[in-house]
Amino acid sequence: MLETRAFEPEFLRKLDLLVLGIQRARTVRAGQRALGRIQGLGIEPENFKDYAPGDDLRFLDWNAFARLDDLMIRTYRADRQVEITSLVDASASMGLPERDDKLGLALAIGAAFAYIGMADNDAVRMGEGIDDGGFADVWAADDG
pLDDT in tens, the chain (144 residues): 677 888 899 999 998 888 777 655 444 444 444 444 455 666 777 788 999 999 888 889 999 999 999 999 988 876 666 788 888 888 888 888 888 899 889 989 999 999 988 888 888 888 887 666 555 545 555 544
Give CA–CA dist 30/124, Å, rounded.
Answer: 19
Closest among 3, 26, 6 to 116, alpha carbons compared: 6
Strand partners, 125: 85, 140
pTM of the shown model: 0.55
